[in-house]
Amino acid sequence: AIDIGKLNKETGYFTFDPGFMATAATRSAVTFIDGDAGVLLYRGYPIDQLAKQSSFLEVAYLLINGELPDKAKFSAFEDEVTHHTMMHEALKNFLHGFHYDAHPMAILCASIASLSAFYHDTLDLNDPEQRRLAAIRLIAKMPTIAAAAYRYSIGWPIRYPRNNLDYVTRFLHMMFEVPSEPLELSPVAAKALDLLFILHADHEQNASTSTVRLVGSTGANPYACVAAGIAALWGPAHGGANEAVLKMLGEIGDAKNVGKAVEKAKDKNSGFRLMGFGHRVYKNFDPRATIIREMCHKVLNDLHVNDPLLDVAMELEQAALKDSYFVERKLYPNVDFYSGIIYKALKIPTEMFTVMFAIARTAGWVAHWLEQHTDPETKIGRPRQIYTGAVKRDYVELAKR
């Protein structure tokens, strides 16, 4: 194979690839995607098999360790994650510094970055045990901090993690438990959330994971790396799309307005895109979207929710799939087209949707961060540029300008 790095050094040439459409920044053994065939594998296992048979925490183990655990290994992993779910009491002071209407993604991003101030021991990045512990802490604390961000934003007291519950149920308790009222959680809700977490757990070198790796390549603290990933995830072109989809469906309001929305999305001057449509890698269909669509119908049915937004979504999908603009550009519903409707049925507020994505993607972020730190080929990420500024010129004193 041609050593591009060496060639560039010798010739002074480099590739110009805005958006990294055709540039692999790393080797990775975590996740495989075939965008044309609609295939997604975590460590070789098809996403539909994991969605049907596994759990989020088992998937997190798989992503991090490369193999599915046996019973003893899974139990030890679950115990360890459970042991690290508490957040330091001093973190509450950070929360109280935010304005009451702060977006929970802002609170999450800042709070996760602040963990680097609490765990100095992880600064020895040469110690695999310390790296592993940082990964466990991030997976364990993310739901606790996420739920705290939500409760703070609505003025409710923070709930501590109940360690006799499983990962997903524990999170739902921290979100919704109110003093003196027993929380009745439907197993359908916990199962649905677990499945959504599995589907969002990793997606190879997406913008947020690449951000984690870029920051990681400098040797930065893992909590700072993941905070950077959260910031990248927040944008509406990435994880923020699930929140944007629900807003869009609400604005369309009724299946009869779908035609107008499709026309507007085709008009480049409108500045409007169909949120939840299109993907950089999937040019056939997003296999996660197929699973989520099916699940969306089941959850609404099982929870007896009649949401008119589902009708709008189905009508929109049908209209776009028939329209040559979307067909020619291979724009299909992505993972986030239906996920918001499910979150809404689970009573998760809209501004928490991207936070939910962040909880799940933490498994992928830390798996990639760990992989990067054992890869002898890891170098500081330092792209080049095509300079378009002024040519060399001489400074003119202020009085003479």
Closest to ligand ACO by CB, 317 vs 336, is 336
To the nearest 10°, the Cα dihedral for 165, 166, 167, 172?
-60
- Among 134, 145, 201, 274, which residue sits at the site for ligand ACO (rule: CB under 6 A)? 274
CA distances (Å), origin 210, targets 66, 116, 215, 223, 230: 19, 20, 9, 15, 11
The nearest distance, CB 190 to ligand ACO, in angstroms, is: 23
34: helix, strand or coil? strand
The nearest distance, CB 218 to ligand ACO, in angstroms, is: 24
By CB under 6 A, tell whether 278 contacts ligand ACO. yes
Strand partners, 277: 333
Report yes or no: 216 and 371 within 8 Å, Cβ to Cβ: no
Residue span binding ligand ACO (CB under 6 A) among the ranges 190-198, 234-242, 256-264, 392-400:
234-242
Query: Hey, what are 13's tokens?
Result: 């040439």
Query: Hey, what are 179's tokens?
Result: 């003093």
By CB under 6 A, tell whether 336 contacts ligand ACO. yes
Residue span binding ligand ACO (CB under 6 A) among the ranges 51-59, 98-106, 139-147, 331-339:
331-339
Closest to ligand ACO by CB, 95 vs 309, is 309
Residue span binding ligand ACO (CB under 6 A) among the ranges 68-76, 139-147, 183-191, 233-241:
233-241
- Residues forming the active site: 238, 279, 336
Report yes or no: 354 and 233 within 8 Å, Cβ to Cβ: yes
Closest to ligand ACO by CB, 38 vs 69, is 38
Q: Which is nearest to 194 in space by CA: 345, 355, 53?
A: 53
- Among 216, 276, 340, 364, which residue sits at the site for ligand ACO (rule: CB under 6 A)? 276
- Among 76, 86, 178, 237, which residue sits at the site for ligand ACO (rule: CB under 6 A)? 237
Q: Which residues contact 26 (CB under 8 A, 6 or more apart)?
A: 205, 213, 372, 375, 377, 378
Residue span binding ligand ACO (CB under 6 A) among the ranges 78-86, 89-97, 235-243, 344-352:
235-243
- Among 256, 329, 347, 379, which residue sits at the site for ligand ACO (rule: CB under 6 A)? 329
- Among 145, 196, 331, 367, which residue sits at the site for ligand ACO (rule: CB under 6 A)? 331
Strand order in the sheet with 45-46: 31-34, 39-42, 45-46
Residue span binding ligand ACO (CB under 6 A) among the ranges 47-55, 69-77, 231-239, 300-308:
231-239
- The H-assigned helical ranges of 101-161 are 104-118, 128-153
Residue 86 has φ and ψ, to the nearest 5°, of -65, 145
- Among 279, 293, 344, 368, which residue sits at the site for ligand ACO (rule: CB under 6 A)? 279
- Residue 124 CA to chain centroid, in angstroms? 27
- Among 109, 214, 241, 346, which residue sits at the site for ligand ACO (rule: CB under 6 A)? 241
Query: Hey, what are 73's tokens?
Result: 């290994």
Closest to ligand ACO by CB, 91 vs 356, is 356
Report yes or no: 135 and 366 within 8 Å, Cβ to Cβ: yes
Q: Which residues bind ligand ACO (CB under 6 A)?
A: 19, 237-239, 241, 265, 273-280, 329, 331, 334-336
